[in-house]
Amino acid sequence: MTMYTELETHQSRQEWLYSRVMTYRLLSEMLERKPTLSKLIEWKKEASKINRLFTNNYALLNTLENTMLNDIMQYARQECEEYSQLFEQDQQVSYPPQASYYVTNEQGRTAYEAVVNAVYARAGIAFKKMDHETDDHIGIELEFMALLAERSAETDMHSSNRKMIAQMQIEFLEHYLIPWVPSFCAELGKTTCSPLYREWAQMLPTYLQNDLQELQKIVTRLT
């Protein structure tokens, strides 16, 4: 992944910032929504935009971008069945997509969700949940990062505000995503028979670590 310090022009910096918004949104949606025909077509377009804006070279983005339209209906049916097996609420899975299952015990889960909700509230963000997701659901946490990334991409932001938003994202990555995402993704990658979700599980931990490093460089530059 090309580092932020190598982005020499304002345009290329903005392209990287907007690629973050779209990447976090895509990763979030893929664990919150079934891969229906319309969603796959939408994700195909989003992956293409991300790859044009910034070269990440992730297999998931390439798979989505290169999905053949003439095969997409059958592909959607297969992936919807896989999604139901992996993530539907009536499935008793050993890898729930919720942080509290990995960082605390059963008695502490409600308290942990309240802590995460308080982080959202301090940022002035509240979520309208479509499928009764918990506040520590991977899709909600990634959506939170997408919203913060969107703030970072505002071109008229003062450097002190840009630094504050970057630090907020660093803290969320370090304390609320990176501590549990690798374990969840490892379990998902071993369980799924779908290349789509296996590539999602392969991409996310690497992307989060790369993004953390880039944000840390931004804070250093703005200090």
Angle between helices 195-222 and 72-87 (to 10 degrees): 80
CA distance 117 to 57: 33
Looking at residue 164, its pLDDT comes to 93
Residue 216 phi/psi, 5° resolution?
Answer: -65, -35
Whether 92 has a pLDDT exceeding 80, the answer reads no
CA distance 196 to 37: 14
pLDDT, average across residues 61-81: 93
One-letter identity of residue 159: S
Looking at residue 12, its pLDDT comes to 80
Do the Cβ atoms of 133 and 32 come closer than 8 Å?
yes
Looking at residue 3, its pLDDT comes to 47
Whether 43 has a pLDDT exceeding 80, the answer reads yes
Looking at residue 221, its pLDDT comes to 86
For the segment 117-132, what is each residue's pLDDT rounded down to a tens digit?
Answer: 999 999 999 887 777 7
pLDDT, average across residues 33-57: 92
Looking at residue 97, its pLDDT comes to 93
Do the Cβ atoms of 196 and 33 come closer than 8 Å?
no
> Could you give the angle at the alpha carbon of 30 between the alpha carbons of 162 and 208, nearest 5°?
40
Number of CB atoms found within 10 A of residue 88's CB? 11
Number of CB atoms found within 10 A of residue 5's CB? 11
What pLDDT band is residue 8 in, cutting at 50, 70 and 90? low
Lowest-confidence range among 38-42, 62-66, 157-161?
157-161
For the segment 163-210, what is each residue's pLDDT rounded down to a tens digit?
Answer: 999 999 999 999 999 999 999 999 999 999 999 999 999 999 999 999
